[in-house]
Amino acid sequence: MARLTGPKTRLARRLGIALHPKDEKILTKRNFRPGMHGQKRARVSPYGTQLLEKQKAKWTYGIFERQFRNYYEKASAAKGATGELLIQYLERRLDNVVFRLGLASTRPQARQLVSHGFLEVNGKKVNIPSYEVKIGDVVKIREIKMKSKYIVIQKALMVKAQPPEWLSLDAKDLSGKVMSLPTAEMANAAIQTRLIVELYSR
pLDDT digits (tens, 9 = 90+) for 159-179: 788 899 999 999 989 999 999
User: Is there a single domain that holds both residue 98 and residue 86?
Assistant: no
Q: Is residue 105 part of a domain?
A: yes
- Which residue blocks in the chain are alpha helix, DSSP H? 8-15, 23-29, 46-61, 65-77, 82-91, 94-101, 107-115, 149-157, 184-187, 193-200
CATH number of the domain where residue 109 is located:
3.10.290.10
Give the pLDDT confidence score for residue 76 in this predicted structure. 95
pLDDT more than 70, % of the chain? 78
Q: What is the mean pLDDT of the chain?
A: 85
Asked whether the predicted pLDDT for residue 19 surpasses 80, the reply is: no
Give the pLDDT confidence score for residue 190 in this predicted structure. 77
User: Is there a single domain that holds both residue 56 and residue 115?
Assistant: no
Q: Is residue 3 part of a domain?
A: no
User: Is there a single domain that holds both residue 100 and residue 67?
Assistant: no
User: Is there a single domain that holds both residue 78 and residue 144?
Assistant: no
Q: For residue 13, what pLDDT band results from cuts at 50, 70 and 90? A: low
User: Is there a single domain that holds both residue 133 and residue 151?
Assistant: yes
The predicted model scores a pTM of: 0.81
Asked whether the predicted pLDDT for residue 67 surpasses 70, the reply is: yes
Residue among 125, 158, 122 at smallest CA distance from 144: 125
Q: Is residue 184 part of a domain?
A: no
Count of the separate structural domains present in the chain:
2
Least confident of 93-97, 139-143, 180-184: 180-184
Amino acid present at 164: P
Q: Is residue 103 part of a domain?
A: yes
Q: Is residue 104 part of a domain?
A: yes
In whole angstroms, what is the distance from residue 58 CA to residue 43 CA? 23
User: Is there a single domain that holds both residue 105 and residue 128?
Assistant: yes
Q: Is residue 77 part of a domain?
A: yes
Q: Is residue 76 part of a domain?
A: yes
A 10 A CB-CB count for 176 gives 25
User: Is there a single domain that holds both residue 17 and residue 74?
Assistant: yes
Q: For residue 37, what pLDDT band results from cuts at 50, 70 and 90? A: very low
A 10 A CB-CB count for 24 gives 12
Residue among 176, 166, 199 at smallest CA distance from 57: 199
User: Is there a single domain that holds both residue 112 and residue 79?
Assistant: no
Q: For residue 1, what pLDDT band results from cuts at 50, 70 and 90? A: very low
- List 33's β-bridge partners, or say none: none
Q: Is 82:195 a contact under the CB 8 Å cutoff?
A: no
User: Is there a single domain that holds both residue 68 and residue 41?
Assistant: yes
In whole angstroms, what is the distance from residue 43 CA to residue 87 CA? 28
Give per-residue pLDDT as tens, 69-107: 999 999 999 999 999 999 999 999 999 999 999 999 889
Average pLDDT over residues 173-196: 88
Give the pLDDT confidence score for residue 92 in this predicted structure. 97
